[in-house]
Structure formats: C-alpha cells, structure tokens
Amino acid sequence: MADLTKNAGKPGTLILGIDPGTVATGFGLIERRGSQLLTIGWGAWKPGQKLSRGEKLLHLAESLDDCMKKFRPALVAIEQAFMGRNIQSALRLGEARGAMLTVCARHEVPVQEYATATVKKVVAGNGRASKEQIQFMTQRLLKLKKTPEPEDAADALALALTLALDF
C-alpha cells in the first residue's frame, strides 16, 4: 500500500477514483471529513471513437490533468490491472492505466490500486457482487439521490469510497 498517511489525516481530504478504459474512463470525486463522506462529482471521459489509440490516451491524460488542476485531490484510487480472457482488452486497459498513473505521478498524488474483488467486498460486502449491487451500495453509502451513471463513473466512485474507508 502506498504511504497515504501524510494526506489522509487532513480535514476535507479529496479522493479521486478512476476506472480506466480507452472507450470510457470513469471518475468519481469524494471528500472525507472525519467519518463523513461527501460526493463532489462523477462522470466519464470518452475520447472519440475515430481517434487513434495515441490520441485517445492523450485525451484521457489531458482530461485527468484538467481534473487534477481543478480539484487538487490528495489521493487517487485506481482499478488494478487484471488479466482477462481477451489479451487485446487487457492491453488497452493497461495503456489507459499507464496514462492515468503518469498524470498522477506528474501531480505527485499518491495512488492506491485495488483489485475489483476488493472494491466489491468493501462496498457491497461480497467480492463477487454484481455491477448493480455495487451501484446500489455506492448510492446508499454516499447518500446519493440517484444511481451514479454511467457504470464507469459508479465504479470510480466505488474505488474512491474503498480508499476513503481504507484509512
């Protein structure tokens, strides 16, 4: 685990969750004030389908860079790489993660990586929870009036929530 202690104890700690992908990268920003969690916002960065792979990664990196400059999160939670059946999908995910990690390093923001099963266990109490269960529990735990959408954004909020509950 990254050393998060220097940023964790500050009042109003901003945590950015990132669910990387080249089609859509979800983001979710929450603020932890003691035991209270406040949702700042969420969404997804979607590079155009007609862009080259490099242009998509640049778009994602620039979007994250803008977010980092605007909100100045103290901590970032990102989905850990996993090896799926489709090697090409895993490669694309790795490229998106690399772009995101590079931006975080440039801003000197500590990053904590979480396996999908860990996020599911923390948020829903079950490491095999469905997407719908994660969305429901994220909405409930963050006291949101509506289900966070798109799915990528809900996953990013769940990542940020996992980190917030981890320290």
Point out the residues that are catalytic: 19, 79, 152
For residues 44 and 54, is the Cβ–Cβ distance under 8 A? no
Rounded CA-CA distance 153/62 in Å is: 18
Rounded CA-CA distance 30/40 in Å is: 5
Eight-state DSSP code of residue 28: E
Q: Is 104 exposed, middle or buried (0-12, 13-18, 19+ CB in 10 A)?
A: buried
For residues 9 and 148, is the Cβ–Cβ distance under 8 A? no
Rounded CA-CA distance 28/15 in Å is: 8
